[in-house]
Amino acid sequence: MTLDHTLTWETARVAGMLAYALVTASVTLGLLLSLKATSENWPRFITNELHRFVTLVALVFTGLHTIAVLLDPFTGFSLAEVLLPLTAHYRPLWIAMGIVSAYLLVAVWASEYVRKRIGYAWWRRFHYLAFAVFLLGTLHGLGTGSDSAQPWALALYAAAGGLVTLLIAARLVVAIPRRTGGVAVVTR
């Protein structure tokens, strides 16, 4: 049976971009949770569940992206090349970043299920790997994506990077007074 190159290639492209958008959403939700952002119309438990669900859907699209790339006859990747970092015949470093990002995504997602065993402090430390997932996914997309030079793709990467950077900065500003025991002073 011969697969249609267009179908597998388009599936790989769309799934990859959707996975990236979903990882961005997951990291954004995680940062909002850590900032204790609240709303009367949106209870925290909904944000928690949405965060878990978005992460799971990101995993599904990451898997679909990987399978589509594997099945695409034009790319010619072997199973080892899509599973083992630095083995790809095409842009091995950039592909490796995507593979490592995918593995870290699985690990961060799975950490939710061992949280009670490892404790909150270790779970939280482990969750910092979500930033590596995001960064490596961004670099993978920029380095290997066939659409990376397109204005819409560059705008997506810039918006995602800007949003995550802004939320990290907000998180750091909130965390600094707590760590030092000092008082934050706001001047006008």
Backbone angles phi, psi at 111, to 5 degrees: -60, -25
In this predicted structure, what is the pLDDT of residue 188? 47
**Are the C-beta atoms of 66 and 170 separated by less than 8 Å?**
no
Q: How many domains does the chain have?
A: 1
In this predicted structure, what is the pLDDT of residue 187? 52
Q: Model pTM?
A: 0.88
Mean pLDDT for each 10-residue chunk of the chain (188 residues)? 76 97 97 86 83 97 97 94 97 98 97 93 93 98 94 97 97 75 52
Report helix, strand or coil for 152.
helix
Backbone angles phi, psi at 39, to 5 degrees: -155, 145
Q: Look at the alpha carbons of 38, 45, 63, 101 in this order and tell me if their dihedral is positive or negative.
A: positive
Hey, what amino acid is at 96? Answer: A
Residue 185 placed within a domain: no
Residue 186 placed within a domain: no
Residue 170 placed within a domain: yes
CA angle 117, 115, 113 (to 5 degrees): 105
Residue 45 placed within a domain: yes
Residue 162 placed within a domain: yes
What tokens were used for 114?
């061992």
Range(s) of the domain holding residue 71? 5-180
Residue 188 placed within a domain: no
- 38 Rama sector, left if φ>0, alpha if ψ -120 to 50, beta otherwise: beta
The CATH number for 162's domain is 1.20.120
